[in-house]
Amino acid sequence: MSRVELNTAAPDFTMTDFTGKSVSLADFRNKKNVLVVFNRGFF
Amino acid sequence: MAQLRRYYQRFVKLDTEIIVAGPEKPEAFREYWTKENLPFIGLPDPEHKVLKLYGQQVKLFKLGRMPAQMLIDKKGSVRFVHYGHSMSDIPSNQEIIELIEKQI
Q: What is the complex's ipTM, to 2 decimals?
A: 0.90
CA distance A4 to chain B (A): 6
Nearest to A4 by CA among B55, B66, B71, B18: B55
Residue from the list A15, A32, A38 with its beta carbon closest to the beta carbon of B68: A38
Per-residue pLDDT tens digits for B15-36: 999 999 988 999 999 999 999 9
Q: Is the CB of residue A42 less than 8 Å away from at least one CB of chain B?
A: yes
Q: How far is CA B73 from CA A28, B5, B28, B45, B96, in A?
A: 9, 20, 29, 22, 12
d(CA B80, CA B58): 20
Using pLDDT thresholds of 50, 70 and 90, give the confidence band for residue B62: very low
d(CA B59, CA B90): 16
The H or E element that residue B34 is part of is helix B26-36
Per-residue pLDDT tens digits for A1-43: 456 788 999 999 999 999 999 999 999 999 999 999 987 666 4
Q: How many CB atoms lie within 10 A of CB B42?
A: 23
Q: Please list every residue in chain A whose beta carbon sits closer than 8 Å to the beta carbon of residue B9.
A: none
Residue B29 burial (CB < 10 Å; 0-12/13-18/19+)? buried
Residue from the list A19, A33, A39 with its beta carbon closest to the beta carbon of B104: A33
